[in-house]
Structure 1
Amino acid sequence: MAITTSTRVDTDERPIPTLAEAARVWAKIGLLSFGGPAGQIALMHKELVEERRWIGEQRFLHALNYCMLLPGPEAQQLATYVGWLMHRTLGGLIAGILFVLPGAVVMLGLSILYASYRHVPLIEAIFFGVKAAVLAVVIEALLRIGRRALKNRFMIGIAVAAFIGIYVFGLPFPLIILLAGLTGWMGNRLAPDLFSGGGHRGKDGVEDVEGVIDLMFERGELGHADPSWARFFRVVAIWVPVWLGPVFLLVLMTGTSSVWTQIGTFFSAMAMVTFGGAYAVLAYVAQAAVESYGWLAPSEMVDGLGLAETTPGPLIMVLQFVGFLAAYRAAGALDPLLAGCLGALLTTWVTFAPCFFWIFLGAPYVEALRGNKALSAALTAITAAVVGVVANLSLWFALHVVFREVHPVAFLGMAPSVPRLDSIDWRAALLAAAAMVAMLRFRVGMLPTLLACALAGVLLTSVPASL
């Protein structure tokens, strides 16, 4: 059994940070939070645990465990959680908003440039190369998630079933997540050994440096973290209207069929089911935004993911790009750019407002959730299903990047998408293969690969697509 030591922090040397001091740190983290959730969580660990010792190692991992159970971007929710512990609701709001704000501003600017200048030949050539790199990024994510989640043959079976369900039968992503969670919950009763290992766990033998927040707990200075029914109902009464109030107003003002109502209701629903990270939910968003609503083309969805990969903040910010284009193209009497900006703002609102709701509502009950085996088993099964969903996303991207024509084929009431083999674009296939070799074999970083592929795209677009 590993022995964990604890080091006490001298409160004279490590005073409780002021709200202004904390805000500066949250702004720094928001500006530097590239590299997806793994990079973002590592950055927060370095800043909050190792350098400033605001929170201890074990409490940090415990908070991360809770955030992994929630829908939405776990890194942003972890920042909100720690900010809330230190400075109550205002601290959580500042931490969560500053984590998202830099990426939201950059993404909005890129969306405006994309809508205004994407048909310029040079811009088209750049995005041609970026799409190939995005395919490599998604496949790398698939392999990374798969290594962590598929610990036995039963988990592999869940992943395969999820892939078949979404690709062949067209089952909606929320249903797949629900079925996986039920499988894990029931499996915990029948064969618990198959479902062990869900979620994140700390490493044995890690020195648990006691942080400022830990000492605040010991001194009884965190009364706002005590659960109570009064607090529960107060949070619900405030945050449900904050989250869904604008959506109901839009329904009343614009009708149920307007693009504003569609954006508000669709992305509010997505905020409820975004388990497993951005790559998992993107498969369903791409399916609905492209095929059901017709907001954008498949190639534009890939472009949006490429833009999101280059910005700080959560990768789920790609949803803002989708909302921008949806409103931009259905502006009505509004100026298209103004409509696009309003669509982006609405999407960002209904995507991230519930993230604060989950933290402020559930954080006081974190200790009650800790060690819950049934919940951990459900999360394990959901994570395995996410592998299958991301595999579908990888295939979806590959088909639309490498082939110029993709169409559904009806078969026994099903209609999986297949490419026309003679429509292959050898340039895109070559770039995608090179990007995968660079990232998977030589461990080249995401941003250098994106930049190299963008440059290569400019050079290759002058060559015919067909051999």
Structure 2
Amino acid sequence: MVIPTTAYTRRQLTVYFLKLGTFGFGGPPALVSAMYRDLVQDRRWIDEADYREGVALAQLAPGPLAAQLAIYLGYVHYGVLGATFVGVAFVLPSFLMVLALGWAYVRFGGLPWMQAMFYGVGAAVIGLIAIGTYKLTTKTVAKDGLSWGLFIVSAVVTVVMESELLWLVIGSGILYWFVKASPYRLPGRTGNVWAPVLTQLLAIPTDSVLWKLAIFFTKAGVFVFGSGLAIVPFLYGGVVKEYGWLTEQQFLDAVAVAMITPGPVVITVAFIGYLVAGFWGAVVAALATFLPCYLLTVLPAPYFKKYGKHPGIKAFVDGVTIAAVGAIAGAVVVLARRQLVDLPAVGIALVTILLLYRFKKLPELGVIAAAAIIGILLRQAL
């Protein structure tokens, strides 16, 4: 085990991510911002360079952004064991909540109150992630024309395409590298860090529903890039259109469950798995989605740690990070267009922004709870 250079233990880090997984609302933009605020700025457990490397790796590798960043931060000082503890702690709370909601959904034939609650929570979440993204942007984007240019291009493209583009992220890293550091100073061969993951599982022919779930959700974990929200179109095409496991309403309810529960948005896969095949369906769907994410973070991590401080690599990572933050800012706009459908929703989002900007220590969970109550009351009144 690597001895950390800062005053925190593996247990303290695990407890932090257990709390973040339990109370962290807002999806990838809010969770990524919270990690920066808590671990880099406030506690100073993680330094700026390690955080940037984590964002870059999470952006370049397939899988959910927030979960991969959490796993990498666990790896920074405590290696594979730290990454494992953090990954489980971050995902487990929301998995258990989604499992309970899945049982209630099946038991009572749907959750009509869910949409009403999501109306208020979703609007407040837009305000929450807008503030978080603002803070993340001001701290990570350098004050020069190239940095802001890459940030704006990434944000605009994300808004227009409604998804994060891997080639744009990589291109930003390469351009920043060429401008900020000599390409001849890069280290040579770094080895094959993108090892194939779970290919044997993908090739297994079987008619078992659980194996079909495992194969489908492994593909989702391996081939979908960007934030957890990027997985939603892939899931829709599979579980609704291709396999017909869920109706469109059930799928929308599954996405709503992911948004009103804390932790990574990708946990919607557990709700889908539960509706298809009960408890074991939820377990298989979650494991198949998150295991590739874990492996594709831990396997390249030593190379990022070894070469990340090199000027050329650092410039590339900085460029990728700027594009990633731009994509997060664009995602806020995309989410706002979908969620803020009327004036009351816009009002909830604006009030949330003003409160969080004015009162720095205002508990986010209290804001979310108040928004949920307001949403239910507004829907009953309409």
**TM-score normalised over the length of structure 1:** 0.61
Residue 38 to residue 284, structure 1, CA distance change in 2 (3 Å): closer
Q: What is the distance in 1 between the residues matched to 2:50 and 2:377?
A: 47
Q: What is the distance in 1 between the residues matched to 2:159 and 2:380?
A: 34
Q: Which amino acid aligns with 1:76?
A: I
Counterpart of 2:74 in structure 1 is 79
Counterpart of 2:111 in structure 1 is 120
Q: What is the distance in 2 between the residues matched to 1:125 and 1:65?
A: 38
Q: What is the distance in 1 between the residues matched to 2:126 and 2:42?
A: 32
Counterpart of 2:358 in structure 1 is 441
Q: What is the distance in 2 between the residues matched to 1:380 and 1:26?
A: 25
Structural mapping, 1:30-109, within 5 Å: 30-33=17-20, 36-37=31-32, 40=35, 63-64=50-51, 66-71=53-58, 73-84=68-79, 92-93=80-81, 95-109=82-96
Aligned length: 338
Decide which of 215, 218, 243 is 1:264's aligned counterpart: 218
Counterpart of 2:280 in structure 1 is 338
Decide which of 201, 206, 211 is 1:249's aligned counterpart: 201
1:129 and 2:120 aligned: yes
Counterpart of 2:152 in structure 1 is 160
Q: What is the distance in 2 between the residues matched to 1:40 and 1:374?
A: 26
- Following superposition, the deviation at residue 430 of structure 1 comes to 2.6
Q: What is the distance in 1 between the residues matched to 2:39 and 2:137?
A: 24
- Following superposition, the deviation at residue 63 of structure 1 comes to 4.8
Residue 121 to residue 67, structure 1, CA distance change in 2 (3 Å): closer
- Following superposition, the deviation at residue 129 of structure 1 comes to 1.9
Superimposed CA distance per residue, residues 311-346 of structure 1 (whole angstroms, 9 cap, x where no aligned partner): xxxxxx32232x2244345x3xxx344312310121
Decide which of 135, 144, 163 is 2:135's aligned counterpart: 144
Residue 460 to residue 319, structure 1, CA distance change in 2 (3 Å): same
Q: What is the distance in 2 between the residues matched to 1:393 and 1:38?
A: 13
1:389 and 2:339 aligned: no
Counterpart of 2:175 in structure 1 is 183
Q: Confirm or deny: 8 A CA contact 2:163 2:230 kept in the other structure.
A: no
Counterpart of 1:411 in structure 2 is none
Counterpart of 1:408 in structure 2 is none
Residue 122 to residue 66, structure 1, CA distance change in 2 (3 Å): closer
Q: What is the distance in 1 between the residues matched to 2:273 and 2:252?
A: 17
- Following superposition, the deviation at residue 375 of structure 1 comes to 2.2
Residue 282 to residue 49, structure 1, CA distance change in 2 (3 Å): closer
1:426 and 2:346 aligned: no
- Following superposition, the deviation at residue 114 of structure 1 comes to 3.1
Q: What is the distance in 1 between the residues matched to 2:156 and 2:354?
A: 27
Cα RMSD after superposing both structures: 3.9
Residue 283 to residue 184, structure 1, CA distance change in 2 (3 Å): farther
Counterpart of 1:224 in structure 2 is none
Q: What is the distance in 1 between the residues matched to 2:137 and 2:295?
A: 30
Superimposed CA distance per residue, residues 207-252 of structure 1 (whole angstroms, 9 cap, x where no aligned partner): xxxxxxxxxxxxxxxxxxxxxx9xx89xx7xx957xx23x532432
Q: What is the distance in 2 between the residues matched to 1:399 and 1:298?
A: 17
Relative to structure 2, which stretch is displaced further, 136-145 or 60-69?
A: 60-69
Q: Which amino acid aligns with 2:230?
A: Y
Q: What is the distance in 2 between the residues matched to 1:45 and 1:253?
A: 46
Residue 254 to residue 434, structure 1, CA distance change in 2 (3 Å): farther
Residue 293 to residue 156, structure 1, CA distance change in 2 (3 Å): farther
Counterpart of 2:370 in structure 1 is 452
Q: What is the distance in 2 between the residues matched to 1:385 and 1:48?
A: 26
Q: What is the distance in 2 between the residues matched to 1:336 and 1:447?
A: 30
Residue 439 to residue 161, structure 1, CA distance change in 2 (3 Å): same
Q: What is the distance in 1 between the residues matched to 2:173 and 2:156?
A: 17
Which secondary structure does the structure 2 equivalent of 1:462 belong to? Answer: helix
Residue 43 to residue 394, structure 1, CA distance change in 2 (3 Å): closer
Counterpart of 1:401 in structure 2 is 339
Which secondary structure does the structure 2 equivalent of 1:308 belong to? Answer: coil
- Following superposition, the deviation at residue 32 of structure 1 comes to 3.7
- Following superposition, the deviation at residue 357 of structure 1 comes to 1.7
Q: Confirm or deny: 8 A CA contact 2:99 2:271 kept in the other structure.
A: no
Superimposed CA distance per residue, residues 269-325 of structure 1 (whole angstroms, 9 cap, x where no aligned partner): 34xx55xxxxxx24533454457875875675465244235xxxxxxx32232x224
Q: What is the distance in 2 between the residues matched to 1:353 and 1:187?
A: 32
Counterpart of 1:327 in structure 2 is 273
Q: Confirm or deny: 8 A CA contact 2:181 2:315 kept in the other structure.
A: no
For the pair shown, the structure with the greater C-alpha radius of gyration is 1
Which secondary structure does the structure 1 equivalent of 2:380 belong to? Answer: coil
**TM-score normalised over the length of structure 2:** 0.72
Q: What is the distance in 1 between the residues matched to 2:181 and 2:43?
A: 38
Superimposed CA distance per residue, residues 93-127 of structure 1 (whole angstroms, 9 cap, x where no aligned partner): 2x222223233222112212333445334343322
Task: Give the fraction of aligned pairs with identical amino acids, expressed as a percent.
Answer: 15
- Following superposition, the deviation at residue 259 of structure 1 comes to 4.8
Residue 38 to residue 428, structure 1, CA distance change in 2 (3 Å): closer
Report 1 or 2 for greater relative contact order, CA contacts < 8 Å, sequence distance ≥ 6: 2
Q: What is the distance in 1 between the residues matched to 2:162 and 2:293?
A: 24
Residue 124 to residue 461, structure 1, CA distance change in 2 (3 Å): same
Q: Confirm or deny: 8 A CA contact 2:147 2:319 kept in the other structure.
A: yes
Q: Which amino acid aligns with 2:178?
A: M
Q: Confirm or deny: 8 A CA contact 1:29 1:43 kept in the other structure.
A: no
Q: What is the distance in 2 between the residues matched to 1:173 and 1:442?
A: 35
Q: What is the distance in 2 between the residues matched to 1:144 and 1:133?
A: 17
Q: Confirm or deny: 8 A CA contact 2:229 2:265 kept in the other structure.
A: no
- Following superposition, the deviation at residue 130 of structure 1 comes to 1.4
Q: Counting helix residues as a fraction of each chain, which structure ranks higher?
A: 2
- Following superposition, the deviation at residue 38 of structure 1 comes to 5.8
